[in-house]
Structure 1
Amino acid sequence: MIIRLVMLAELVAITAALTLPESLQSLGLASFILATAAFVVAIFPSSASLGLAKLLRPYLVVVLAAPALWMALQAVPMPVDTLGNPIWATASAALNEPLAEMITVDIGATMLSLAQYCAVLAAAFVTAVITLDRYRAAQVLHLLLSVTTIATAMWFGKEARAVAGPDGSTVAVLGVLLACATAIRAADQLRRHRRPGIVAPTPLPALSAAIIAMIVCMTALLIRTDSAAVIAALLGSGILVSVFSIRRWYLGLWGTAGVLATAAILFIAGATVIPFRTNTDVTIALSTSSQIATERMLQDVRPAGSGAGASTVLLPLYGDVDIGAPRERSTAAAAIVIDMGWAFLCGLVVIAMLGACILFRRSLSRGYDYVYPALGAGASIALPILAFAEHGILGLGASLLVAALFGLAFGQSVPGVGREALTVESKEASDWMAGPVPASRPRLASALVTIWPRVALMVLGIVLIMQTMWMVLPTWYLAGQSSLSAAVSAAAAWPNGISKPVSVAAARGDFRIHGESLPRGEPALAADEQKTELPAASSSLVRSLRSSPLHGDIWLMLAASKQNSSQSSTAAMLKMSYYTAPNDLDLLPLRLSVALATDAVVRELEFRDLIKRDVSLVVTRGSAIRSALVTAYRSASSEGKIYLESLISELDPTYLDNMRAPRSRQGSR
């Protein structure tokens, strides 16, 4: 009963992650559910400890812990300045206060990525423990097939222009693999069912469900995705079919070599079908969508990366202003390189290939339940192809689904682990009934072997609970704050570092400061209100920048608050706003007002080019915010007015009279 509740909880977590939009709330919900499942698995079933201890070999523990340690290291101040990102030194000079240099450019984004990775580990561990039993493994396989089929059908049913979940194609590919595995298992059951003297449940319902799921997922892939996703699904399924062929016809060494050679030829042939983009980075060569900003980021990537999750924060800085265009999404491989560095991506590819080989070998050594490790081997081939073609594999729902699939594959990859665990459990129960016995070193060593997986699950559950509180509580606290000043003041009460609600929310776009601070349609009123509210909140804004200096809206607010006190400070912060948010049209009204009202800014040649670019954007592309020029003209200094008039006369001479009209009417009055 307890295991069934854990299975239901994990199913709810994956379903919620697939159906809800990615946000702090969805990640917090998934973390809480998985934390509860980890606690239950660690406390109640004693047989799970031995089974998990046999699965978690030392090298596997190191491999799984390395990404988490690297993410944590990215958010730690570097002892040597050259190791940190240069943006921290630039921000320190603009704020005129020392800032610790770190590898990451956004602490909140990195800690959110670490939180998601912990949730993925919990999903994998819990699934591995549950599926030590072969009957539970079959139930988990059928549940995952149902979830992927329904999610793919919902994704396929959306309109083509709608963004129906960025991880839809990844889920569809996994659905094809799960359907293939279910069909192979049903075929084996059907063959066993026909043998005389063997009574087994009929596999026809499972086979029918697998066929329906295969049709739904393949139809979605053929219609809604590109050839890379289709080839990935076919190659992953080819691994399953290869294992089935070897096991079905009892092929020997040469037969196995022939099947593997055929699979290799098909793999190479499939790779040639995928359209590769030439003269571009290899991480975006398979992508069919626009990757202009991503290619620019890849040219500036550092060996240690820019911090986990930083690619999403950096993307607006490298993009162009294109009103109405769909938002660019980097491929998963490109995002990993930008966030973690080239060495990390190469390590992941090597580990994926080694994992495919290990699971393929274990599937050949299994007896009846060989389909589960073969499923993991197929996924290890398909997912790297998807990573180089699109972004979906890094989504919360897709990553949890992948974790559950690999937990199922590894949970059933070692023969006899479940039976050995149950035998040890029965022996422990009989020893307890017989009474106490003298302690011995072998018994102590055995206890240590069986207890450390429990401790690991408990620690992981505690980490998940802590990160859930870190994500959800600040959001609830700020939910009632309606004004910018109130929200920023609330953030000031939190400790410095990763726990700032404003910084954390800004990393994922859940709490857009400039979305509230610059209402659309009334740029003049917004600019006037900002100048009155900002001085009181400037200290809170500075605290937000200590978590991430890439928020151009916050730099602009600080520049506006310092406008009447120090022109040099205003210029430094305004320059940071230009460099960290060059293409944010919502910031143009206030930014032009502050820039043209500061003589030190207008006189500098670099600022003149930046102001000219903003004015050109307003005149040529931002007809809805042209009134911002009138507001900027009214508040501009004498030098600022002269420079703005010269720019308008070059770009749109007819608008110059409209801009001067309010001033002339005021003079006549």
Structure 2
Amino acid sequence: MAAPQDGVYMIIRLVMLAELVAITAALAIPESLQSWVLASSILATAALVVAIFPSSSSLGLARLLRPGLVVVLAAPALWMALQAVPMPVDTLGNPIWATASAALNEPLAEKITVDTGATVFSLAQYCAVLAAALITAVITLDRYRAAQVLHILLSITTIATAMWFGKEATVIAGPDGSTVAVLGVLLSCATAIRAVDQLRRHSRPGKIAPAPLPALSAAIIAMIVCLGALLIRTNSTAVVAALLGSGILLSVFAIRRWFLGVWGTAGVFATAAVFFIASVTVIPFRTNTDLTIALSTSSQIATERMLQDVRPAGSGAGASTVLLPLYRDIGIGAPRERPTAAATIVIDMGWAFLCGLVVIAMLGACILIRRSLSRAYDYVYPALGAGAAIALPILAFADHGILGLGASLLVAALFGLAFGQSVSGASREIVSLESTEASDWMAGPVPASRPRLASAFVAVWPRVAMMVLGIALIIQTIWMVLPGWYLGGKSSLSAVVSAAAVWPNDISKPVSVAAWREDFWIRGGSPSRGDPALAADEQKTALPAAFTRSLRSSPLRGDIWLMLAAASKQNSTQTAAMLKMSYYTAPNDLDLLPLRLSVALATDAVVRELEFRDLIKRDVSLVATRRPAIRPALVAAYRSASAEGKIYLEGLISELDPNYLDDMRARHPRQGSR
């Protein structure tokens, strides 16, 4: 019996190690495709191991996953999936699909999301976060493994915070730095409280692992590092969030030690409520702005504009990143603005979703506090989860860090630890059941009369759920990594477009690879395996088809709209429709400006239209007055412009810089001007 039991313990240790490696990798590697693939593949393997190999973890997980909690955990994934599927009623979808359908002159299924790929990518992150939480809950059903996970999480957050604090450029912990530091404060407070309780019981018989004094010393050091980083590198909101979360832990500790009973508990929570109200007055609120960005100290101009246009159902998970360039100021390069987590959730998922999350966080905090007060030992774990449930919503209204991959996985592990140890008696059951189930597994199938149907279902369904989650993560990992294996590195389509003057002579192969990879990335497909040097007429037919397929998944791709406009010069009406979509979906992308001016000024139907004249004037003014480095784009546009286009461009430049007009005429005299 000892051999199978030792094997089960070894499997659980490997799963724990794999999960912690995934969290560390997500924090250490700047958020990129590599970090996503690594974390997703590791968590998928861990979930499948938990599902396949027998242990009493399935019984413990069944106790934790009550029907209400299952609904709460599944709701975000179902909502993201619903956003990415065609709507049965056209009015439910985002209007961009109807606009794109008219421009392409073909029917497009309307969806809630404006970018299917971004929504599926967000769904992949949520599945990874859910897997991390459930795996941690399974691991920490045993009280001694829970202590190990607590100390390892504390080590990870402390090291990540120290490296984030020591770097001018956010290399480690990246934008998640303040969130990781707040979690570090909570973990150090929980570790310190647990060590103090162990010191009080040190003379009693029983296992104590690890020794309380080293753990207490480590907790104090971690507290100093994390709190110091918050005081120096972040704003007062993050500090208040950390103090309020720690206040929950200290309140539970005080109630259990000195204020037992109903009145004592009420007194402590009344004091905590007064402290909470006093702390709120310290937070700098921004007036005359949306609530979701009221606590942010960074510029949120574009975010506020997006919030004014938000739809009840949202714009699709991950859509805020796609929409941000459309709302930023004209002439601004790569945007440094990042919407707060609360604003991102509203833009992506809708106001109702954010309100539901806040309500669930508060209910979860209350449930964890109640379970913490009802436990005889190890009450610090659910109290830790309650503190995080109070601190993290405050952070969500101040910055974006909680939605980062590393921070979200760390949060998932913390809540998995809290709920894994929130059920009283789970530790005793896990010890008594693991050896029995392991021996049954080694002995082979049991008689049919022995287990009851209900008991079998309770034991099996958590494993089935973990297996489905693991398979979903594997599929998502393949979806993310397969295009890179098949086609090589991802090219920047905008950069390729900006390097070209006209299409297709100057850009054939690079754009072909980028376009096919974009289509493969979002919808799947197989690029041509023929001769790399395709004939020009074949590329003219293949490229627009690839671009069109990409727009069926992401109609906000201004670069692809521009390529289609350049490819349809023989049809002025179609060129105008595609060019208008490029202007509306990428109004401030300077990489597209040279080719867009060339296409616009070369088409008489575009130059004659009043709306296009205003758009062209804006681009020319931007180049002439604010971006002199790309003035050669005006010369290239003048060279390829039609007769009417040359006349209109000359009139614009004569108003802005007459000297440059003379120079441009000298280089490329207009036909008939001599």
Q: TM-score, normalised by structure 1?
A: 0.91
Q: Cα offset for 1:419? A: 1.9
For the Cα contact (< 8 Å) 2:29–2:172, is it kept in 1?
A: no
AA aligned to 2:563 is M
Question: Is structure 2 residue 583 aligned with structure 1 residue 557?
Answer: no
Match of 1:643 in 2: 648
Residues 146, 555 of structure 1: alpha-carbon distance in 2 compared, 3 angstrom cutoff: same
The separation in 2 between residues aligned to 1:305 and 1:423, in whole angstroms, is: 48
Q: Cα offset for 1:665? A: 11
Match of 2:224 in 1: 215
The separation in 1 between residues aligned to 2:641 and 2:524, in whole angstroms, is: 39
Q: 1:461 aligns with which of 467, 470, 473?
A: 470
Q: 1:52 aligns with which of 61, 67, 77?
A: 61
Question: Is structure 2 residue 667 aligned with structure 1 residue 662?
Answer: yes
> Which sections of structure 1, spanning at least 5 residues, go unmatched?
503-529
AA aligned to 1:179 is S
AA aligned to 1:595 is A
The separation in 2 between residues aligned to 1:11 and 1:163, in whole angstroms, is: 16
Match of 2:552 in 1: 546
The separation in 2 between residues aligned to 1:45 and 1:435, in whole angstroms, is: 12
Secondary structure, counterpart of 1:578 in structure 2: helix
Residues 562, 665 of structure 1: alpha-carbon distance in 2 compared, 3 angstrom cutoff: closer
Question: Is structure 2 residue 306 aligned with structure 1 residue 306?
Answer: no
Residues 226, 532 of structure 1: alpha-carbon distance in 2 compared, 3 angstrom cutoff: farther
For the Cα contact (< 8 Å) 1:85–1:102, is it kept in 2?
A: yes
Q: 1:484 aligns with which of 488, 501, 510?
A: 510
Q: Cα offset for 1:435? A: 9.8
Question: Is structure 2 residue 34 aligned with structure 1 residue 25?
Answer: yes
Question: Is structure 2 residue 657 aligned with structure 1 residue 631?
Answer: no
Secondary structure, counterpart of 1:305 in structure 2: coil
Q: Number of aligned pairs?
A: 639
Q: Deviations over 1:79-115 (max 9, x none)?
A: 1000000000100110111110000000000000000
> Equivalences for 1:503-652 in 2 at 5 Å?
536-563=542-569, 565-652=570-657
> Equivalences for 1:71-150 in 2 at 5 Å?
71-150=80-159
Match of 1:447 in 2: 456
Q: CA RMSD in A?
A: 2.5
AA aligned to 1:538 is P
The separation in 2 between residues aligned to 1:375 and 1:27, in whole angstroms, is: 27
Q: 1:327 aligns with which of 303, 321, 336?
A: 336
Secondary structure, counterpart of 1:602 in structure 2: helix
Q: Deviations over 1:169-211 (max 9, x none)?
A: 0000000000100111111111111x36667463111111111
Q: Cα offset for 1:25? A: 2.3
The separation in 1 between residues aligned to 2:284 and 2:34, in whole angstroms, is: 38
The separation in 1 between residues aligned to 2:337 and 2:295, in whole angstroms, is: 15
Secondary structure, counterpart of 2:384 in structure 1: helix
Q: Cα offset for 1:430? A: 7.1
For the Cα contact (< 8 Å) 1:556–1:591, is it kept in 2?
A: yes
Match of 2:370 in 1: 361
Q: 2:22 aligns with which of 13, 17, 25?
A: 13
Identity %: 81
AA aligned to 2:277 is I
For the Cα contact (< 8 Å) 1:303–1:341, is it kept in 2?
A: yes
For the Cα contact (< 8 Å) 1:15–1:397, is it kept in 2?
A: yes
For the Cα contact (< 8 Å) 1:239–1:378, is it kept in 2?
A: yes
Q: Cα offset for 1:235? A: 0.3
> Which sections of structure 2, spanning at least 5 residues, go unmatched?
1-9, 492-508, 528-535
Residues 646, 534 of structure 1: alpha-carbon distance in 2 compared, 3 angstrom cutoff: farther
AA aligned to 2:668 is R
Match of 2:258 in 1: 249
For the Cα contact (< 8 Å) 1:174–1:379, is it kept in 2?
A: yes
Q: Cα offset for 1:478? A: 2.3
AA aligned to 1:172 is A
Q: TM-score, normalised by structure 2?
A: 0.91
Greater CA drift, 421-430 or 100-109 = 421-430
The separation in 1 between residues aligned to 2:340 and 2:526, in whole angstroms, is: 28
Secondary structure, counterpart of 1:257 in structure 2: helix
Greater CA drift, 38-47 or 444-453 = 38-47
Q: Cα offset for 1:164? A: 6.1
For the Cα contact (< 8 Å) 1:49–1:450, is it kept in 2?
A: yes
Residues 4, 432 of structure 1: alpha-carbon distance in 2 compared, 3 angstrom cutoff: closer
The separation in 1 between residues aligned to 2:198 and 2:343, in whole angstroms, is: 43
For the Cα contact (< 8 Å) 2:27–2:173, is it kept in 1?
A: no
Greater CA drift, 654-663 or 359-368 = 654-663
For the Cα contact (< 8 Å) 2:296–2:399, is it kept in 1?
A: yes
For the Cα contact (< 8 Å) 1:176–1:237, is it kept in 2?
A: yes
For the Cα contact (< 8 Å) 1:155–1:168, is it kept in 2?
A: yes
Residues 198, 404 of structure 1: alpha-carbon distance in 2 compared, 3 angstrom cutoff: closer
The separation in 1 between residues aligned to 2:306 and 2:575, in whole angstroms, is: 28
Residues 326, 433 of structure 1: alpha-carbon distance in 2 compared, 3 angstrom cutoff: closer
Q: Cα offset for 1:422? A: 3.5
Q: Deviations over 1:465-523 (max 9, x none)?
A: 0110000011222216874344146448849x644799xxxxxxxxxxxxxxxxxxxxx
Greater CA drift, 578-587 or 438-447 = 438-447
For the Cα contact (< 8 Å) 1:160–1:224, is it kept in 2?
A: no
Question: Is structure 2 residue 391 aligned with structure 1 residue 382?
Answer: yes
Residues 598, 430 of structure 1: alpha-carbon distance in 2 compared, 3 angstrom cutoff: closer
Question: Is structure 2 residue 211 aligned with structure 1 residue 185?
Answer: no
> Equivalences for 1:284-303 in 2 at 5 Å?
284-303=293-312
Greater CA drift, 3-12 or 353-362 = 3-12
> Equivalences for 1:134-283 in 2 at 5 Å?
134-159=143-168, 165-193=174-202, 195=203, 200=208, 202-283=211-292
> Equivalences for 1:334-349 in 2 at 5 Å?
334-349=343-358
The separation in 1 between residues aligned to 2:54 and 2:28, in whole angstroms, is: 31
Residues 489, 196 of structure 1: alpha-carbon distance in 2 compared, 3 angstrom cutoff: closer
Q: Cα offset for 1:448? A: 1.0
Residues 668, 163 of structure 1: alpha-carbon distance in 2 compared, 3 angstrom cutoff: farther
